[in-house]
């Protein structure tokens, strides 16, 4: 397989038949071919984690396809009708037209239920894939300059995807979606001052009214998909423009991209992956029930069911709501419901803003303003990795809290104790996760450093003539050493003084002091890669050891051993690794 | 009653625990004895003798907690081992003993369904005895709870009543749900129509009583019909994932969906010439 780097100019196609002429004509006016050629010669590096975003992209395509199918039968109307379709358990029941059409889709349209289920599974997958993709970007530092903007677009996609999912979940007007809309109404009402107006405006009057489903429908199939599509387009354009990041390695620098040309290899792989994602969602749609609206029954404000939960991506604010103590303030006849306002409105807002700003936050801490096209291994940014794991723990605890009822019944636990546990863990867990992850990363860094300086453990135990045992270390390959050392050294500036060099009081000293402390905290425990002198010394040491042995005397001068080497010429396995024989091409060394 | 069982569970580690365990041992052996004793031969006789037989059984199996005359037993601390049974009615006994909840094996947060220790005649006798202590709802007749004649209109109506009165605790598909304080509304799979009817009539523990004024007998039957039909309906959408709502769906999306896609991504990325050469990332 040839590897290509991005060229600057595109080759001109020789045009000699009619088609080519037409193409040239078009190209002369539109300039498409030149543009396309350049893009076709784009190169994508290869690593499985680079395909996580593709899962999201392809599940979005599946959503567009299946969603279009659903619109052909779905009726976004809250007009009351009497069900007369083929599902007997609801025949004769009064319901909204929206719910009726969802039942019609499920039971009377060929393939309708399958399409609904694929649509819903793909929605769950879409957002899950975005989240995993986000974690990969964060862990590898792919969000650093110049890609901050694409991170921001990605975060917006996550937010809008969640909203899109919520509006879709609300459409069929079954008991669960109605309960969800009602909860959303309650959340809006919890916003001080403007809440009531917002709610009134959204529902076109009092909850539930007749407008909400048609409005959500417009948002769900037109407004939000439109914005999503535009943002996804911008996301991909920026990706092509910036070129893909890559893992460091021999031949890969901050200025090139090593990988496959877009055509044909990468396109074939990506195209194939579309069918895999489609296949996965189709299989899930065919094998597992999702959102069985017929079992929930039509929405009726007087009813509610156990197991009313939002889809998983709304689970974490729901969990926060479930563990929030019941705080309310009564002021001049108004009630401020902190118990709803804080977990549902403030918390997600704060978390989302934090996610959106993460690249800028990190750049502020590290002071790193350079462009980065090489990725970092998670262990080489211990504090960043630990921060993500802490955030994941926070998310995970809240997530688990939103399933507290099922945990209680399935593990025979007391609902109240689960709540107390979560109230504590939501604060303690992330801190613990941060500390553990950071120490873990630092240990891994230390292991890398040892590997560079002392080589890898060959697994060969040597026994010296005096009976001492030692494991033989052998130097790692140059490629690996390159990969391990392809990272930056951190230089911490001295703490800013209260006065600058001219003796003038430093106005910004306080901000700078904070920043210095944060940066110190961020980096101070990192294990640096060995310096050039350290490496040279280590190599020199190894060579010295070998050279002494070459003359037939072991490197054990103190004891003055001068006898023959009993093992010489003996075909004992591993003997060849004693440092006195040529081991190039040895089978046992494979893979190091 | 909520208070009572909470106290019961709180007492699990009290000095009385040993005594209770001893009592339980006696109760269980008594129950087992009653199960195999030839007393059953007398069943089906005149009412008076059924009551007498029930009393005998009650003294062996139930009196240790509920008192010799079903008056309830109060501990020294003023809490109860078993509540007074006068006026709970035959239906309550039939439900409690017929679903294995009574005799209570060990005081816990909530009496659970378990293996039934008495045969139908003995249950009838126990019920007759408890009914003789005071008036209460009697065991429903088969015509009240039988769902064989219900048409689909009645079933759909039953679904409405079900969603209005029961799903909040028992979940839309009768899969069960959690209640505060370690209690729960059980799944209704495998519960007989008779016991469903009795549960509504007597409201065991946390469950409210759905008296005939609140939910008419015909409506009770419709509810039972709906639940039974729902349980026997095919899974139209494939595996129902426990009918527990979005939580299990989300788990499936992550474990099966993301799991499969990532596994394929790893597979695709590993099938390239260059990475076979061992380029490490
Ligand atoms: C342009 C693209 C889309 C169209 C035309 C579309 C259309 C629809 C329609 C008509 C329904 C109601 C059908 C039913 O009752 O089951 C629906 C439901 C739904 N949509 Fe979409 N949708 C699109 C994109 C999306 C996206 C991007 C998401 C997720 C992030 C999504 C998530 C949902 C969900 C969760 C439901 C509820 C499905 C159910 O009740 O089973 N949709 N969509």
**Do residue A300 and residue B244 have CB atoms under 8 angstroms apart?**
no
**Do residue A295 and residue B182 have CB atoms under 8 angstroms apart?**
no
| Chain B hits for A408, Cβ within 8 Å | 178, 182, 184
- Interface with A, mutate which of B247, B269, B277, B280 (most A CBs under 10 A): B247
Q: Whose CA is nearest to atom 5 of ligand 1?
A: A67
Phi and psi at A559, nearest 5°, equal -75, -15
> Is the pLDDT reported for residue B250 higher than 90?
yes
**Do residue A125 and residue B159 have CB atoms under 8 angstroms apart?**
no
**Do residue B164 and residue A302 have CB atoms under 8 angstroms apart?**
yes
Q: Cβ neighbours of residue A192 under 8 Å, at least 6 residues apart? A: A334, A336, A341
Cα–Cα distance measured from residue A322 to residue A239, given in angstroms and rounded to the nearest whole number:
40
* Closest residue in chain B to residue A312, using alpha carbons only: B250
Ranges of residues in chain A whose predicted pLDDT is under 50: 1-15, 546-573, 575, 591-592
A154 lines ligand 1 (CB under 6 A): no
What residues 90-119 of chain B have any CB closer than 8 A to a CB of chain A?
Answer: 109
Q: What is the pLDDT of residue A33?
A: 66
Domain range summary for chain A, segments of one domain joined by +: 2-39, 56-249+291-359, 455-490+526-589
Express each pLDDT in B91-120 by its tens digit: 999 999 999 998 888 777 788 898 999 999
pLDDT grade, residue B192 (50/70/90)? Answer: very high
Q: Whose CA is nearest to atom 34 of ligand 1?
A: A168
- String of DSSP letters for A339-396: HHIIIIIIHHHHHHHHHHHHHHHHHHHH---S---B---GGGSHHHHHHHHHHHHHHH
3-state secondary structure of A458: strand
Q: What is the pLDDT of residue A175?
A: 93
Testing ligand 1's pocket by substitution, the residue of A164, A168, A288, A312 carrying the most ligand atoms inside 8 A of its CB is A168
Measured between CB atoms, does B255 come within 8 Å of chain A? no
Query: From the list A54, A117, A310, which residue is nearest B246 (CB)?
Result: A310
Region of residue B241 (phi > 0: left; psi between -120 and 50: alpha; otherwise: beta): left
Cα–Cα distance measured from residue A100 to residue A89, given in angstroms and rounded to the nearest whole number:
13
Q: What is the pLDDT of residue B68?
A: 87
Would you say A306 and B178 are in contact if contact means Cβ atoms under 8 Å apart? yes
Q: What is the pLDDT of residue B38?
A: 37
**Do residue B258 and residue A93 have CB atoms under 8 angstroms apart?**
no
Q: Which residue has the tokens 């040491």?
A: A541
Instruction: Go through the domains of chain B in sequence order and give each one's CATH number.
Output: 48-132 (1.10.760.10), 142-232 (1.10.760.10)
Cα–Cα distance measured from residue A244 to residue A249, given in angstroms and rounded to the nearest whole number:
15
> Is the pLDDT reported for residue B28 higher than 60?
no
3-state secondary structure of A261: strand
Number of neighbouring beta carbons within 10 Å of residue A123? 28
CATH 1.10.3720.10 fits A56-249+291-359, yes or no: no
Would you say A268 and A183 are in contact if contact means Cβ atoms under 8 Å apart? no
Cα–Cα distance measured from residue A505 to residue A508, given in angstroms and rounded to the nearest whole number:
9
> Is the pLDDT reported for residue B10 higher than 50?
no
Mean pLDDT of chain B: 80
CA distances from A30 to A14, A26, A38, A217 (A): 18, 6, 15, 38
Q: What is the pLDDT of residue A508?
A: 66
What residues 39-68 of chain B have any CB closer than 8 A to a CB of chain A?
Answer: none
Q: Whose CA is nearest to atom 36 of ligand 1?
A: A168
**Do residue B240 and residue A483 have CB atoms under 8 angstroms apart?**
no
Express each pLDDT in B203-226 by its tens digit: 998 899 999 988 999 999 999 999
* Closest residue in chain B to residue A377, using alpha carbons only: B281
ipTM above 0.85, yes or no: no
Cα–Cα distance measured from residue A331 to residue A447, given in angstroms and rounded to the nearest whole number:
60
* Residue bearing the bigger pLDDT, B248 or A329: B248
Query: From the list A272, A295, A408, which residue is nearest B268 (CB)?
Result: A272
């Amino acid at each position: 397989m040839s590897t290509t780097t991005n060229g600057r100019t595109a080759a001109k196609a020789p045009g000699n038949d009619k088609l080519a002429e037409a193409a040239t004509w078009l190209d002369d006016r539109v300039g498409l071919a030149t543009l396309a050629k350049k893009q076709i010669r784009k190169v994508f590096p290869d690593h499985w984690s680079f395909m996580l975003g593709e899962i999201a992209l392809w599940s979005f395509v599946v959503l567009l396809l299946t969603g279009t199918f659903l619109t052909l039968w779905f009726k976004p109307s809250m007009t009351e009708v009497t069900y007369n379709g083929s599902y007997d358990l609801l025949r004769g029941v009064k319901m909204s037209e929206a719910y009726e059409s969802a039942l019609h889709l499920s039971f009377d349209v060929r393939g309708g239920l399958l399409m609904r289920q694929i649509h819903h599974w793909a929605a769950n997958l879409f957002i899950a894939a975005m989240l995993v993709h986000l974690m990969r970007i964060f862990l590898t530092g792919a969000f650093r300059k110049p890609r901050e903007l694409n991170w921001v677009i990605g975060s917006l996609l996550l937010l809008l995807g969640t909203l899109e999912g919520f509006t879709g979940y609300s459409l069929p007007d079954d008991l669960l979606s109605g309960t969800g809309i009602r909860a959303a109404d309650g959340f809006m009402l919890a916003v001080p001052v403007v809440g009531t107006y917002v709610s009134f405006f959204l529902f076109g009057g009092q909850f539930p009214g007749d407008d909400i489903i048609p409005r959500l429908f417009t948002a769900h199939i037109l407004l939000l998909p439109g914005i999503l599509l535009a943002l996804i387009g911008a996301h991909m354009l920026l990706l092509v423009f910036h070129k893909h990041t890559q893992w460091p390695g021999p031949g890969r620098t901050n200025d090139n991209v090593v990988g496959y040309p877009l055509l044909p290899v990468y396109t074939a792989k990506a195209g194939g992956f579309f069918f895999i994602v489609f296949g996965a969602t189709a299989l899930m749609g065919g094998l597992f029930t999702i959102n069985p609206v017929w079992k929930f029954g039509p929405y009726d404000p007087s009813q509610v069911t156990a197991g009313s939960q939002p889809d998983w991506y709304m689970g974490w604010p729901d969990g926060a709501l479930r563990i929030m103590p019941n705080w309310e303030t009564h002021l001049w006849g108004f009630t401020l419901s902190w118990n709803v306002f804080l977990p549902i409105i403030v918390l997600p807002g704060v978390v989302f803003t934090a996610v959106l700003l993460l690249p800028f936050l990190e750049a502020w801490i590290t002071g790193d303003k350079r462009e980065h096209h090489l990725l970092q291994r998670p262990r080489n940014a211990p504090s960043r990795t630990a921060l993500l794991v802490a955030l994941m723990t926070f998310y995970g605890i809240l997530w688990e809290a939103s399933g507290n009822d099922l945990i209680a019944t399935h593990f025979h636990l007391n609902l109240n104790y689960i709540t107390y546990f979560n109230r504590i863990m939501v604060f303690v867990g992330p801190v613990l996760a941060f500390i553990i992850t950071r120490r873990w990363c630092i240990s891994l860094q230390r292991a890398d450093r040892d590997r560079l300086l002392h080589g890898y453990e060959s697994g060969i135990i040597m026994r010296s003539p005096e009976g001492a045992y030692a494991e033989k270390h052998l130097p790692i390959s140059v490629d690996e050493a390159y990969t391990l050392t392809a990272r930056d050294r951190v230089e911490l500036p001295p703490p800013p003084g209260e006065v600058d060099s001219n003796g003038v009081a430093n106005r910004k000293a306080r901000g700078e002091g904070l920043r210095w402390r944060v940066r110190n905290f961020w980096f101070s425990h990192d294990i640096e890669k060995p310096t050039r002198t350290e490496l040279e010394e280590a190599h020199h040491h190894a060579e010295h050891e070998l050279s002494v042995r070459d003359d037939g005397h072991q490197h054990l001068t103190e004891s003055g051993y001068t006898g023959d080497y009993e093992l010489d010429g003996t075909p004992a396995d591993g003997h060849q690794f004693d440092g006195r024989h040529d081991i190039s091409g040895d089978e046992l060394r494979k893979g190091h | 009653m909520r208070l009572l069982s909470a106290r019961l569970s709180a007492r699990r580690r009290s000095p009385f625990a040993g005594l209770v365990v001893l009592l339980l041992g006696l109760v269980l052996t008594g129950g087992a004895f009653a199960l195999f004793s030839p007393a059953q031969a007398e069943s089906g006789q005149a009412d008076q003798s059924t009551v007498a037989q029930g009393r005998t059984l009650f003294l062996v199996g139930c009196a240790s907690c509920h008192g010799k005359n079903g008056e309830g037993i109060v501990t020294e601390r003023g809490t109860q081992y078993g509540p007074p049974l006068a006026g709970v009615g035959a239906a309550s006994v039939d439900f409690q003993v017929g679903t294995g909840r009574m005799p209570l094996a060990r005081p816990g947060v909530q009496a659970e369904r378990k293996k039934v220790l008495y045969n139908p005649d003995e249950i009838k006798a126990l019920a007759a005895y408890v009914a003789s202590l005071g008036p209460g709802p009697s065991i429903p007749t088969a015509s009240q709870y039988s769902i064989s004649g219900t048409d689909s209109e009645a079933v759909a109506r039953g679904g409405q009543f079900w969603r209005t009165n029961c799903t909040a605790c028992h979940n839309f598909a009768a899969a069960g749900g959690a209640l505060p304080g370690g209690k729960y509304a059980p799944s209704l799979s495998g519960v007989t129509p008779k016991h469903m009817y009795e549960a509504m009539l007597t409201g065991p523990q946390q469950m409210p009583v759905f008296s005939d004024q609140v939910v008419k007998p015909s409506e009770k039957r419709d509810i039972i019909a709906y639940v039974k039909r729902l349980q026997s309906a095919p899974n139209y959408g494939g595996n129902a994932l426990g009918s527990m709502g979005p939580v299990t769906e989300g788990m499936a999306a992550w474990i099966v969906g993301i799991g499969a896609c990532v596994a394929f991504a790893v597979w695709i990325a590993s099938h390239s010439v260059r990475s076979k050469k061992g380029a490490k990332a």
